Structures are given as C-alpha cells and as structure tokens.
Chains A and B, each alone.
Chain A
C-alpha cells in the first residue's frame, strides 16, 4: 500500500499535496469564516495537523481530512466574527448594454445589499452558497467535500436562497 500511494511523511509529497489544495481549502475556510487572515490561520493549522499525523493519514482521504479539520478548527474558534466580503475589482455589470449612471448606481447599491445579506447568512448556508457560486461546484461535490449528504446541502442552499430572495426583494421595494 505504501508503494501504491505517495507517503505524506515525505516532504516532497507533502509539498505537492499542499500546493495542490491550498487555494481550494483556503477559499473554503474563507467562505466559512468570512475573514482572510483567520482563514489562512485555520488552513495552516489544518496542514500542520496532517504533517504531524502524516503516517496515519491515508493519502486518498487526505483531502477530506483536510477539509474536515478546517471545519472542526473553525468550530473551535469564536463563532461569531464579522464577515468581511469584497468584490473583485472591475466587475462587469449584468446588463452590459445599459451603462447609464442611474443603472450603475442602482447596481452598486444592490451589490452592497447582497454583500450584507451573504455576510448575514449562517456559516453553513454561506459556505454552501459560495462554494456553489464562486467555485461552480454542484451540490453533490459540495456534499462530498463537507462530508454531509446531498440532501443536507440542498436544504442549506434552499434556505440561503430563500433568505436572499426575501431580504433582497424587501429592500428593493
């Protein structure tokens, strides 16, 4: 078995594993915590857990282990933190033909509201929603990543969408 799979205790393999997953797991931690520095801390802690237990972590399950560890570590830190979300710069607008200042202003306002509503979602709803939106992941993939059933993911997503609809519609009226 040790011959079949790369051993994480060898630095070369560990580095490869690290570089392969750092971005995804860091995003995941960010969706959960909504704080960049907290996210990176969580991720580094999770990687060091794997490094410490390298001999007992099965390579095929290392990715799941990594995400689960981030999840658990997150639950250990103070639960409620201010969620800070920003948009990537120079984001194009939905209706690219309509560029009147009024439309742009409205859209800007909408984006701010959206940001606040997403930040207000529960950490479970937010991670599902953002994994789906930003990473274009299907519910099945998210379920696999989180180690929960697809039904659970759909429930969380549904709840998130319901909140978004209610709050965004209310505010625009």
Chain B
C-alpha cells in the first residue's frame, strides 16, 4: 500500500529514482523505470495549428451552409414523423377505447370461472371460448360461445348465448350449454331457458335438457342434479353416443383416442368419468360398454373386450 503510494509519488516527481531505489532496495524497478522513460517518447500527433484553424473555418462554414439548405427537408420529415405518431396514437386509442370485445379461452384439460359485468357467473369448460362486447353489455347481454360453459345468470334483461349450433335466451337462471361438432346440448338448472335451434324455440323448465345430435333433436330424461357434473371435475352422460364421450375424454386428458374395428361408436353411454385420473376415467367409460383399452403415450386405443 505504502509502496504503491511511493511509486505514485515517484511518477509524480515528488520522489527521485535514486530515492525510491534506496527506500526499497530489494525491489526491482527497472521495468517501471524503463516504462516511464520510453513512454515519454511516444509520439504525439504533429499538428499545424494554423492549418488546423483554417480547416476548421472551412469546415464550420460548410456545416452552416449544409444546415441552411437542409432546413426544408428536415421539417418535412419532422412533419411526417409527427403525422405518423398521431395516426399511431389514434389507432391505439381506438383499440383501447372503442374495441371493447372481451374474450376468454381455455385450453385442453383446463376450466376457468369468470364474472360478467352484471355479476353473472360463467364457468368455462376445457377447450372453449367465450366472447362478448363490453360496451354493449348494458343494452344487450349477448355472448358468443364455442365449446361448453355453465352459466349462473343474475336477473335482468334478456341474456343470450349464441353458438354455431343454436342460441339460448334466458332472463335469470342457471344453465349449461355444450356445443361440439354435431352435438348441441342445453341443460336448465334453475329458472327457464328458451333454446332456439333451426328457428324452432323450446322453453326448458328446471331439470330439462335439449340435445341435438347430428341435426336431430333427442328427448332426454329429466335430471335432478343442482349443477353440471364437470363443475365438480366429472363428466356425466345420459344416453350419449360413444363418439361424443370419446371427444370429451380427449378434451379433458389431452389424449388421442382411436377406435378399433368392430367397436360401435354410436352406442349410447350412460355414466360419468372423473377429470382427475386418466386410468379410472378410461375404465369408467370402457367397462360398462364391454370394451378394453391400450395406452401408448398420448394415444389410446379402444377395442372390444376379448377381441385381443
């Protein structure tokens, strides 16, 4: 520490070379001494001050000239920039203030609960999408659904759920809408629900179900449960074709189900499967139908029991 300070003083001319050598006789200062000596000889750029000044004068003259001729295009560019920013801000504000579409989406094996602006509650089942217009909500309670959802609607104006298959209108009630390929089902749990399918309107009382399979309206027995089974992490079915059950299994477990030759997928299934355990769920579906299954990664194959 002290030595470093002394070396600093030496280079600052406060201590002479002889002095530092006597102070630290065991230290070899030759490298530093040489470094100090030779670095003094490093060439500095030779500069002709008068010429540099002359260069400087022409340079700054050119510069001012350039600047005056550039004034117009510069402002023009500036104008374009400002215009671009204004357009950008207008577009942004349009999306922020006017585009009031709200959208919710669930992935495979995922459910989500959301509250609508009027405190109505929607539980969205796996692989479903729900959209509505926030701004129009006060005038018109209108939603678009793709997939399956359970609604608890607070009392108020007409509440409409549109799907590709048909639409559901209610006042204040609890109901479940399930829309799949070739499958549309509405269950009413409370209040009354008006279901329109192919311009034909059916009014459902609590415990009643409307189900349309492949374009045909099917009559279903009354049910007594208070809310859909999938809310309790279970899917239950009442005389539902096997292919529809398979589709739901695929949604809940992210698996791909193949069916071996000889298995009738239009046979009806009544029962339920859990969302918690894949094996139990697969057994719950296959055993009552006298089927068996093989799992291979994400692929599952159903085949007739005893056929293999």
Contact = CB atoms under 8 A, between A and B. Distances in A.
Interface of A: 15, 18-19, 22-23, 26-27, 30, 36, 39-40, 43-44, 47-48, 51, 85-88, 91, 94, 107, 110-111, 114-115, 117-118, 129-130, 132-134, 136, 138-139, 154, 157-158, 161-162, 164-165, 168-169, 172
Contacts of B215: none
Contact of B12 (A18, A47, A48, A132): A132
B104 interface: no
B44 A30 contact: yes
Contacts of A154: 8
Contacts of A94: 33-34, 37-38
Nearest to A45: B59
A19 B43 CA distance: 20
B30 to A, nearest CB: 9
B216 interface: no
B31 interface: yes
B50 interface: yes
B72 interface: no
Contact of B45 (A15, A27, A133, A168): A27
A85 B42 contact: yes
Interface magnitude class on chain B: 20 to 34
Contacts of B165: none
B50 A19 contact: yes
A25 to B, nearest CB: 10
A157 B37 CA distance: 16
Given A86-B42, A161-B7, A40 B47 contact: yes
B59 A22 contact: no
B39 interface: yes
B38 A114 contact: yes
B31 A134 contact: no
Nearest to B45: A36
B71 interface: no
Nearest to A155: B8
B41 interface: yes
B307 interface: no
Contacts of B28: 169
Given A23-B49, A30-B45, A87-B41, 9 more contacts: A18-B49, A18-B56, A47-B56, A86-B43, A91-B38, A94-B33, A132-B12, A133-B11, A157-B8
Contact of B8 (A40, A158, A165): A158
Nearest to A169: B31
B13 interface: yes
B187 to A, nearest CB: 70
B35 A114 contact: yes
A158 B10 CA distance: 11
Given A30-B45, A87-B41, A157-B11, A48 B31 contact: no
Contacts of B11: 132-133, 157, 161
A138 B12 contact: yes
A169 B33 CA distance: 12
B66 interface: no
Given A88-B43, A138-B13, A48 B59 contact: yes
B53 A139 contact: no
B13 A130 contact: no
B63 A48 contact: yes
B49 A44 contact: no
B23 to A, nearest CB: 16
Given A19-B49, A161-B7, A91 B41 contact: yes
A44 B61 CA distance: 13
B27 to A, nearest CB: 10
